[in-house]
Amino acid sequence: MSWLSALGHTARAGFAVERRRLEPLSALRGALGLAFVIGVSLWLFSPAVAASSAFGAYQAAIATFQRSWRPRPQLALVSGATLGISTFLGYLSASHLALFLALLATWAFLSGLSWAAGPTVGVMAASNVAIMLITITLPSSVAEVAGHAAMSLFGGLVQAALLVLFPFRRWRPHRDALADALAAEALGAADTAALAGLDPVLAEELGAAFGLDVTDEAFWTASLDVIRARIDAYVELTEQFAT
């Protein structure tokens, strides 16, 4: 795929409306985490610190809604930590215009490159740059900015803890990520076939040739059941040999 074709594909994907199943429990979990972080910050510190912690909790919650095979608590922690680091470094360089502009340009460039690693990393990096421009205006000293950075991490930590305590639809994001990976492979095969002058074969058509409906949710859950059964068998064998 050429650079121009990739750019056009990205633009079309950005304007496309993706219809997904609503997840009210997950949304409620993220909102409760955000409310808890803001309440604790206001009770112990100040509205400015509450704003930094709210940004950390908000970005962590957004990161956990992205399609990724990575563990959700890990995404929340990384999101809060990277925002804290961005805030701290941004504040330290803000008093020197040239240094701050260089840091901002580097941050923006790296956030653009991060999209190559996937949309989840891209969303986290892009929001880091945007939120950092706000959070560096809140503290007034190095000690305060360290506290703001710590509270951003605290926001991510709270969201990660809620994910561990209340894991709604634990395997669905992994299933979605697997489906996206298989779809990407199918599109890659279709592009290769088109370049070779062959008729592309869609994943649905290929599965139908073997009597499989890859669009059916039961197809993916059955695959997970097979893996689960094998894990149980492995654990049972391990226990037998251990005794």
Which residue range(s) make up the domain with 94? 24-165
Q: To which residue do tokens 């908000």 refer? A: 58
**Per-block mean pLDDT, blocks of 10 residues, the chain (243 long):** 60 65 78 90 89 87 74 82 88 86 87 76 83 86 88 89 78 60 58 49 63 71 75 74 62
Q: Do 214 and 125 sit in the same domain of this protein?
A: no
- Are 78 and 128 in contact by the 8 Å Cβ rule? The answer is no
- 29 and 99 housed in the same domain: yes
Where b means 16+ CB within 10 Å and e means fewer, 22-55 reads eeeebeebbeebbebbbebbeeebeebbbbbbbb
Both 213 and 127 in a single domain?
no
The whole-angstrom separation of Cα 180 and Cα 201 is 17
Contact 89, 136 (CB under 8 A): no
3-state secondary structure of 172: helix
* Position 18 in a domain: no
Which pairs count as long-range contacts for 144-148, CB under 8 Å and 24+ apart, including other chains? 145/87, 145/88, 145/91, 145/92, 146/88, 147/45, 147/49, 148/48, 148/49, 148/52, 148/84, 148/87
On whether the CB atoms of residues 223 and 175 are closer than 8 A, the answer is: no
Looking at the fold, whether 42 and 120 belong to one and the same domain comes out as yes
- Two tokens at 19? 């219809």
Q: Give helix 24-44 / helix 142-165 axis angle, nearest 10°.
A: 150
Residue 174 has a pLDDT of 57
Same domain, 53 and 145: yes
Name the domain count of the chain: 2
Alpha helix (H) residue ranges in the chain: 3-15, 24-44, 47-64, 72-94, 97-114, 119-135, 142-165, 172-195, 203-209, 217-242
Domain annotation covers residue 108: yes
- pLDDT at position 39 is 92
39 lies in the same domain as 104: yes
pLDDT recorded at residue 196? 47
User: Do 155 and 198 sit in the same domain of this protein?
Assistant: no
Q: What pLDDT shows up at residue 65?
A: 76
What pLDDT score does 230 carry?
77
Task: Compute and round to an integer the Cα radius of gyration of the chain.
Answer: 22
Domain boundary among 165, 197, 225: 165
pLDDT digit string (tens) for 154-170?
988 998 888 888 876 66
Q: Are 80 and 151 in contact (CB under 8 A)?
A: no
- 143-152 pLDDT, tens digit per residue, is 888 888 889 8
